[in-house]
């Protein structure tokens, strides 16, 4: 076991019950306060710890890391140090924050390197190079195939043989808290002869998780399933906002375009694969047998509880509309990365691969309003008396994710976005 993952560890920094950020997590992010450059930080309880200040005081001296790597707009340079160093930094943070280790009088330094999370702004943690979106939940693909094609043949013939994916828009990935403007575009209602133009009326979320690439490959190089996790720095929660009406009209034959490219929201914290290691679990059995390059050994799925809440402007708290789990993924991240690179496609530090909508087996675990409301035929009753088939202006959609085992609970923080009314409504 990685020492920093020991369930017995406690921190001298207060960690409230149910916090996403006990000492066993130590995710990485980028924070900003007035009058200071953005810096790398970790989260502990309701505080952030500033890694630049810790470096300044020599805490990472023996790790041979340039202090400047901790004062950057993004985590890319830090991730590019490689897992040997980034894991060592996480382990060192664990030692600094550990209740029982008194190698340093860290509490004296606390006022310099700890800041309340409520006082800082969390920024987009990575400069995203390329963004790839997979479609790897069997339940989601089956639901969508059932609704839009044929319940008898819900999965297309390729689906059980390869992790289907497409290249998405990297530049419109935003951090949690960024308002999302309702997109406009072409739609073709079922009873219309010609397309119409206007605000999307079927705006949806997609509950996904993304993995962040921490090591690059050269063009022509492939990554095997056995090597894949060496290239994955960590994971984020990923809301792949989708305009279903725009999507339905535009997606043939090349796939989604403007229905997806207007925005995707990620959590500000990247939880490392080190921290997620105790939560490995078996994936679904794959039948038919996959081709040799997609075979894998060991546990490559992760038990990550997921939930989505919608809060209308008149509501005091989010109403949970979905509880799912990342472990349902039919294709795991190692298979996705092996498939992505099998043709020699390179990857770069900061690339993000998203899972595709993560739906579970039961209606309360479906990962999009499209499925939850079954194309609008089953509206969701909200606590304020209103109902939702899709997302309305003023709604805030919040996704949360956490792992729990042996008394340890680690999470990703909130991934939220509020929907603003459309602009550019004139065609």
Residues that bind Ca ion (CB under 5 A): 133, 206, 240
- Specify the residue, 20 or 204, whose C-beta has the smaller distance to Ca ion: 204
Contact 81, 69 (CB under 8 A): yes
For residue 93, the minimal CB distance to Ca ion (Å) is 33
Measuring CA to CA, how many Å separate 386 from each of 62, 151, 203, 235, 382? 59, 31, 17, 35, 5
Which position's Cβ is nearest Ca ion?
240
Rounded to the nearest 10 degrees, how much is the dihedral formed by the CA atoms of 210, 171, 20, 108?
A: 130
Question: To the nearest whole angstrom, how small is the minimum distance from the Cβ of residue 206 to Ca ion?
Answer: 4
CB of 168 to Ca ion, least distance (A): 8
d(CA 15, CA 353): 31
Please give the Cα distance from 113 to 93 (Å, whole number).
Answer: 12
State the Cα–Cα distance between residues 30 and 28, nearest whole angstrom.
7
Say how far apart CA 265 and CA 269 lie, in whole Å: 12
> Which lies closer to Ca ion via its Cβ, residue 131 or residue 302?
131
In the complex, minimum distance from the CB of residue 242 to Ca ion, in angstroms, rounded to a whole number: 7
Q: Rounded to whole angstroms, how far apart are CA atoms 304 and 280?
A: 9
- Catalytically annotated residue among 140, 339, 340, 402: 140
Which phi-psi region, left, alpha or beta, contains residue 394 (left: φ > 0; alpha: ψ -120 to 50)?
A: left
Distance CA 331, CA 355 (A): 9
The nearer residue to Ca ion, 20 or 206, going by C-beta atoms, is 206
Contacts of 289 (CB under 8 A, 6+ apart): none
Nearest-angstrom CA–CA distance, 166 and 170 = 12
Rounded to 10 degrees, the C-alpha dihedral 123/127/132/136 comes to: -40
Smallest distance, Ca ion to C-beta of residue 233, A: 21
Nearer to Ca ion, 21 or 331 (CB): 331
Q: Which lies closer to Ca ion via its Cβ, residue 262 or residue 279? A: 262
Helix (H) / strand (E) element for 143: namely helix 138-148
Q: Are 138 and 145 in contact (CB under 8 A)?
A: no
Q: In the chain, helix, strand, coil percent, each to 5?
A: 25, 25, 50
Q: Mapping DSSP to helix (H, G, I), strand (E, B) and coil, where does residue 317 land?
A: coil
Q: 77 vs 133, which CB is nearer to Ca ion?
A: 133
Minimum Å gap between C-beta 264 and Ca ion is: 8
Judged by beta carbon, residue 22 or residue 210, the one nearer Ca ion is 210
Active-site annotation holds for 140: yes
CB 210 to Ca ion: min, Å? 10
Residues tagged active-site = 140
């Amino acid at each position: 076991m990685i020492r920093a993952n020991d369930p017995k560890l406690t921190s001298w920094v207060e960690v409230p019950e149910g916090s996403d950020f006990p000492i066993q997590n130590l995710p990485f992010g980028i924070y900003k306060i007035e009058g200071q450059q953005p810096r790398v930080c970790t989260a502990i309880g309701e505080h952030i710890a500033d890694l630049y200040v810790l470096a300044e005081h020599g805490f990472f001296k023996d790790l041979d890391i340039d202090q400047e790597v901790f004062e950057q707009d993004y985590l890319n340079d830090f991730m590019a140090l490689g897992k040997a160093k980034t894991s060592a930094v996480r382990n060192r943070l664990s030692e600094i924050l550990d209740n029982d280790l008194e190698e340093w009088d860290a509490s004296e330094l606390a006022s310099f390197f700890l800041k309340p999370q409520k006082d800082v702004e969390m920024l987009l943690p990575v400069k995203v190079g390329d963004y790839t979106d997979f479609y790897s939940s069997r339940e989601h693909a089956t639901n969508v195939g059932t609704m839009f094609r044929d319940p008898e043949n819900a999965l297309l013939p390729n689906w059980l043989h390869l992790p289907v994916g497409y290249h998405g828009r990297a530049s419109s990935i935003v951090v949690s808290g960024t308002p999302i403007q309702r997109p406009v575009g072409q739609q073709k209602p079922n009873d219309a002869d010609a397309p119409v133009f206007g605000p999307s009326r079927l705006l949806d979320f997609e509950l996904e998780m993304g993995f962040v690439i921490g090591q690059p490959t050269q063009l022509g190089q492939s990554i095997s399933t056995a090597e894949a996790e060496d290239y994955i720095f960590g994971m984020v929660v990923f809301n792949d906002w989708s305009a279903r009406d725009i999507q339905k009209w535009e997606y043939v034959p090349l796939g989604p375009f403007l229905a997806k490219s207007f925005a995707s929201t990620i959590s500000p914290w990247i939880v490392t694969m080190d921290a997620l290691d105790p939560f490995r679990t078996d994936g679904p059995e794959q039948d038919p047998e996959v081709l040799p390059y997609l075979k894998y050994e060991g546990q490559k799925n992760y038990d990550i509880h997921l939930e989505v809440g919608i809060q209308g402007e008149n509501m005091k708290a989010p109403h949970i509309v979905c509880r799912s789990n990342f472990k349902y993924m039919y294709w795991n991240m190692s298979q996705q990365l092996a498939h992505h690179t099998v043709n020699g496609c390179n990857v770069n530090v900061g690339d993000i691969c998203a899972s595709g909508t993560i739906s579970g087996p039961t209606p309360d675990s479906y990962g999009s309003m499209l499925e939850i409301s079954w194309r609008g035929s089953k509206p969701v009753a909200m606590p304020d008396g209103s109902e939702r088939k899709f997302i309305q202006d003023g709604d805030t959609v919040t996704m949360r994710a956490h792992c729990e085992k042996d008394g340890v609970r680690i999470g990703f923080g909130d991934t939220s976005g509020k929907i603003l009314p459309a602009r550019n409504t004139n065609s």
